[in-house]
């Protein structure tokens, strides 16, 4: 049974909002030089978004790039963070057309310099002190930088994201609490949508439909996962305490330290 209001089209609404954000940041940060691309929503594991050059072709044989955003994070990370993901991928699109991309997934120095010039600091950990280049890269906003200025002008207009994934993973909630964006003071969109909208908080259930809604979870508490079946493989999962998206598998009782942020890995099962 659908709960949408008559006359609304969630598909049109969602993609129109993403296109509005793309057009705004194109003008504000890239001087309107970026070509059109195809924006998609993809639940790719272990990534918040990606850029794929010339991924789609038309019936006439024309091609267009793809920027994909993972909607699993929308409700539980700050709106500023979602906009960072979009602009991060737009920087890849800029480099594809006006620069020299690194090999494969490598984020090279040219990309890092472009990111800094538009007000986003590249960081392998998503926190100050991370590496500026590498295969797996995050970023954080520069205080007073061009990105935050452009983001504020977007968020004070009629812009919003209307639709959110109800079943994010627990690690998505943890990421939303630990981002630099979530620590910004006096910035619109610096808190997760579930914190700003009680109705949304009552609908979102991290971990799946059988779990309790985020509105019933204590502030700062990451919803606990249901009791897992005994692990018969003698291998357990470890997650970095400072880089929530970084995990490894290994034998019990390992003592692992992250080479990027220096935090210890925590056993999850």
Instruction: State how far the Cα of 47 lies from the Cα of 70, in Å rounded to an integer.
Output: 7
Residue at 64 is within a domain: yes
Q: Count structural domains, the chain.
A: 2
Q: Check residue 197 and give its pLDDT.
A: 95
Q: Which pTM does this prediction carry? A: 0.81
Could you tell me if 176 and 144 lie in one domain?
yes
Residue at 226 is within a domain: no
| Domain enclosing residue 254, as ranges | 236-267
Q: Check residue 133 and give its pLDDT.
A: 96
Dihedral angle at the C-alpha atoms of 240, 40, 149, 220, nearest 10 degrees?
-40
Could you tell me if 68 and 126 lie in one domain?
yes
Q: How many CB atoms lie within 10 A of CB 28?
A: 19
Could you tell me if 172 and 255 lie in one domain?
no
Could you tell me if 203 and 258 lie in one domain?
no
Could you tell me if 148 and 192 lie in one domain?
yes
Phi and psi at residue 174, to the nearest 5°: -60, -40
Residue-wise pLDDT tens for the chain (269 aa)?
A: 345 555 679 999 999 999 999 999 999 999 999 999 999 999 988 889 999 999 999 999 999 999 999 999 999 999 999 999 999 999 999 999 999 999 988 999 999 999 999 999 999 999 999 999 999 999 999 999 999 999 999 998 889 999 999 999 999 999 999 999 999 999 999 999 999 999 999 999 999 999 999 998 755 555 554 444 445 556 777 777 666 567 777 777 777 877 776 667 676 65
Q: Check residue 1 and give its pLDDT.
A: 36
Could you tell me if 26 and 74 lie in one domain?
yes
Could you tell me if 203 and 148 lie in one domain?
yes
Could you tell me if 199 and 246 lie in one domain?
no
Strand blocks (E) in the chain: 38-41, 49-57, 63-69, 120-123, 138-141, 236-240, 247-250, 265-267
Q: Check residue 227 and give its pLDDT.
A: 46
Contact 104, 45 (CB under 8 A): no
Q: Check residue 223 and give its pLDDT.
A: 54
Residue at 51 is within a domain: yes
Residue at 229 is within a domain: no
Residue at 104 is within a domain: yes
Could you tell me if 205 and 246 lie in one domain?
no
Residue at 228 is within a domain: no
Residue at 3 is within a domain: no
């Amino acid at each position: 049974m659908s709960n949408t209001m008559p006359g609304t089209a969630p598909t049109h609404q969602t993609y129109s909002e993403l296109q509005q954000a793309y057009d705004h940041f194109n003008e504000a940060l890239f001087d309107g030089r970026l070509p059109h691309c195809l924006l998609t929503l993809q639940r790719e594991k272990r990534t918040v978004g990606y850029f794929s050059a010339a991924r789609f072709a038309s019936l006439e044989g024309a091609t267009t790039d793809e920027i994909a955003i993972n909607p699993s994070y929308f409700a539980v990370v700050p709106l500023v963070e979602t906009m960072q993901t979009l602009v991060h991928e737009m920087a890849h699109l800029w480099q594809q057309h006006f620069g020299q991309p690194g090999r494969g997934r490598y984020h090279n120095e040219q990309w890092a310099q472009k990111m800094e010039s538009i007000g986003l600091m590249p960081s392998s950990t998503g926190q100050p002190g991370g590496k500026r280049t590498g295969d797996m890269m995050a970023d954080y906003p520069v205080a007073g930088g061009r990105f935050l200025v452009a983001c504020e002008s977007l968020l004070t207009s009629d812009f919003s994201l209307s639709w959110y994934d109800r079943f994010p993973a627990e690690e998505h909630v943890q990421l939303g609490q630990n981002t630099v964006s979530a620590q910004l003071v006096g910035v619109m969109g610096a808190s997760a949508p579930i914190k700003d909208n009680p109705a949304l908080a009552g609908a979102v259930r991290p971990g799946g439909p059988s779990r309790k809604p985020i509105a019933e979870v204590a502030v700062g508490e990451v919803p606990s996962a249901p009791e897992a079946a005994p692990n018969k493989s003698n291998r357990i999962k470890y997650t970095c305490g400072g880089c929530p998206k970084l995990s490894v598998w290994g034998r019990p009782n390992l003592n692992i330290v992250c080479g990027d942020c220096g935090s210890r890995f925590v056993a999850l099962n």
